[in-house]
Amino acid sequence: MKQTGIRLYRYAALFKRPILIALVLLTAAVCAELAGPLVARQMIDRHILGVEYPWYEADAGGKDTVVYDGKTYKRQDRWVEGETKGREVRVLQIGRSYYFVDGPLRFDGQRSVQGNELTVASDGRQAVYPVRELTTPQLYAFYEPEFGRLVVLAACYFGLIVLSALFAYGEKYLLQTSANRIIQTIRKDVFAQVGRLPVQYFDNLPAGKVVSRITNDTESIRELYVNVLANFFSGIVYMAAILGALFFLDVRLALIALPLVPILYVWIVVYRRFASKYNHAIRSRLSDINGMINEAIQGMPIIRAFRRQKETLAEFEQLNEQHFTFQNKLLSLNAITSHNLVGVVRNVIFLTVIWMFGGGWLGTLVTVGVLYAFVDYMNRMFQPIVGIVNQLSNLETALVSAERVFELLDEKGTEVADGKLERYKGNVAFENVSFAYKPGEDVLKSITFHARSGETVALVGHTGSGKSSILNLLFRFYEVREGRILIDGRDIRDIPQQLLRQHMGIVLQDPFLFTGTIASNVSLDDPSITREQVERALRDVGAYEMFAALPGGIDEPVIEKGSTLSAGQRQLVSFARALAFDPAILILDEATASIDTETEAVIQAALEVLKKGRTTFIIAHRLSTIKAADQILVLDRGEIKESGTHNELMRLGGRYYQMYQLQSGELSAEEASVIRTSEGEVQGPAMV
């Protein structure tokens, strides 16, 4: 998990400039926002409660003076050095009323008024003073000098709010834009990695699971950068700034709030210990669900044909139930450690401070303005704490998703090579090639043959005899275990895979068409293939008129996998594609196995055009389509049992002869089975 965090940081470092600017704006926004309570404290303690400061008689008409009962007074903190102070008086608040005391107080304490007498008691002492209750206009007169200053401070408070909002907007915009850029980069890297992965990787990982990593997992990582880190960054800055402000405000109150930091740290550690396990299970089940959905959609005709809907649904519900169970466990954990627990901690702190203030522990040491600022700061501190706690589940989900994405990125792949390779002459040689998909289970054993430039080589044999494996090795979808494969005398392992396939083409039994148009499926949007080349390729394979009759012509839309076209039409597009790319080596993997006889006649004519000037390998079940091949290799259990032309193999009267006679109807399956058994082989179905 530590390595995952480091790699996520490296991706963030690609956009460090806007992120750093965002953090500077965040700090500025926090400072502007947190200055507000200090302004409020100043307004309360000095300009509202400051009326209780000592007042002194002053000359009439001076600045900040107040006239009461024919005499002029000026507050203690408004005197300028050098001015002569007169007799001291006080204005005190008792309950909801204000009283004028014509003289100083010997000490302050608990106040009470009976009639026109004020009693002040403190530590066993008691003092009595004559007082007069102030009317509203009289009280207004004592406050009037402060109104201008209060308006200025209120304007400053509002200005700080506006400034904080502007900084916060800039911070969120930059941070979220950077987050989206980071995810864009990760998705690009993941999809590029998919193109670099060897074919065998996809043999073991269903397409739905790969899609889940590219979409769902990267979306979870986006949440990490957009919401989680934004909340963590802002929360840390807020908490640090608030603690600093609390120490500036009052050290004793700051010490009360300080334990929140270790509590939050322990909170996060404990949460992650349990949440990580649940999130791993959730992401795994979600990946399984995506894989199964993808498989079910692809195989829906088979599911319906064999009435497997109930079984498929039961399998899906089992995965869905497991996903639901782990989601509930995570939900319970979140409920226990969510903002409800934060609220409990906050209320405990507030009750403690109020009890200490009301009980007299802090009452004589902390002013009302300081207490207001403390409560305000604590409320502000718990907001980022709630934000951090609420994002813990997203943090764990994102880290687990990132771990899965990086696991995919760490798979050994082949870098896409740039440049061009000179066109092959087309000489292909297999020298003692052996290969196994699984250790100890060879599917090819000491395969040796030579295909000369321009020749057509046909591979025939029963299912599992190794025909497709030979061509997979030629394309370097897999690597040989023993021996070597040469093209024009050069070992293909010395040629980068992308360059190796530059002059090779393939037509599969079930050709794959991409979403687009017929023309784009022929050219694969390769800019080097012009519109004229596309049309010529379609004409040469005899398909242009067929597609031109469609409403959109060769620009007719093709949906996923070309499902709106017939098998023969898809195959003709695949042939035209191979012809347009003009490969030196062409592979036809059972290209005529799933098409009707009429379309096969068209394709056979196209084959003659397609094979000219190139070395062609054909895997064929219909032996009638390979009678003109220059070389026919008969495979059985990974070995070449016979090789030669059609006539040579027919004269030999061996396996090829049996297969041909069986397909032409001149030999029954039982007779072929007897012949094979008499040759010392295990009796079984004849090769087709």
Which tokens belong to 141? 């007169």
- The answer to whether 565 and 513 have CB atoms below 8 angstroms apart is yes
Confidence label for 546 from pLDDT (cuts 50, 70 and 90)? confident
Show contacts of 359-365: CB within 8 Å, 24+ apart: 362/252, 362/253, 365/252
- Global pTM reads 0.63
- Residue 245: the pLDDT is 80
Contacts of 455 (CB under 8 A, 6+ apart): 426, 615, 616, 630, 631
User: Which residue type, as a one-letter code, is found at position 650?
Assistant: M
Residue 442 backbone dihedrals phi, psi, to 5 degrees: -65, 130
Could you tell me which residues come within 8 angstroms of residue 146 by beta carbon, excluding any fewer than 6 positions away? 47, 48, 50, 51
Exposed, middle or buried, 45 (CB in 10 Å: 0-12/13-18/19+)? middle
* Rounded percentage of the chain residues whose pLDDT exceeds 90: 20
CA pair distance 310, 302, nearest whole angstrom: 13
Share of the chain above pLDDT 70, in %: 88
Nearest to 284 by CA among 327, 250, 245: 327
Domain 197-413 belongs to what architecture?
Up-down Bundle (1.20)
Average pLDDT, the chain: 82
Question: How confident is the model over 575-591, as a mean pLDDT?
Answer: 84
Question: Which range (217-221, 508-512, 532-536, 551-555) has the least confidence?
Answer: 508-512
Q: How far is CA 322 from CA 308, 328, 631, in A?
A: 22, 10, 56
| 175 neighbors 19 (Cβ within 8 angstroms) | yes
- pLDDT over threshold 80, residue 601: no
pLDDT (0 to 100) of residue 675 = 47
Which residues on adjacent β-strands are paired with residue 588?
A: 507, 618
What's the pLDDT tens digit per position in 486-520?
A: 999 999 988 888 788 888 888 877 788 888 899 99
CATH class of residue range 428-644 = alpha beta
Nearest in space to 342 (alpha carbons), one of 379, 375, 371: 379
Q: Which two tokens stand for residue 653?
A: 């009267």
Record the tokens describing residue 93, joined without a space.
């608040």
Residue 357 banded pLDDT, cuts 50, 70, 90: low
pLDDT at residue 539, rounded to an integer:
87
pLDDT (tens digit, 9 = 90+) per residue, 211-242? 777 777 888 888 888 778 777 877 888 888 88
- pLDDT for the residue 670: 53
Residue 684's pLDDT is 35
Kindly list the distances between the CA atom of residue 577 and the CA atoms of 423, 425, 609, in Å, as whole numbers in the listed order: 18, 21, 13
Q: What is the pLDDT of residue 486?
A: 94
Each residue's pLDDT tens digit, 254-292: 887 787 778 777 877 777 777 778 877 887 888 788 778
């519109």: which residue's tokens? 531
Residue of 345, 329, 342, 347 lying closest to 388 (CA atoms): 342
**Number of C-beta neighbours around residue 57 at 10 A:** 15
Q: How confident is the model at residue 450 (pLDDT cuts 50, 70, 90)?
A: very high
Mean pLDDT of 296-301: 80
Looking at the predicted structure, is the pLDDT value of residue 66 above 80?
A: yes
Higher pLDDT, 7 or 308: 7
Cα–Cα distance, 544 to 498 (Å, whole number): 30
Greater confidence (679 vs 381) lies with 381
Q: Which of 548, 558, 546, 545 is nearest to 518 (CA)?
A: 558
CB half-sphere exposure, 425, CA atoms < 13 A: 11
Task: Check residues 526 and 100 and name the one with the higher pLDDT.
Answer: 100
pLDDT at 667: 55
Q: Rounded mean pLDDT of 355-367?
A: 58
388, amino acid identity:
I
CB-side exposure of 657: number of CA atoms within 13 Å? Answer: 11
Predicted confidence band at 542 (pLDDT cuts at 50, 70, 90)? confident
329 pairs with which residues across the strands? Answer: none
Is residue 680 over pLDDT 60? Answer: no
Contact 451, 617 (CB under 8 A): yes
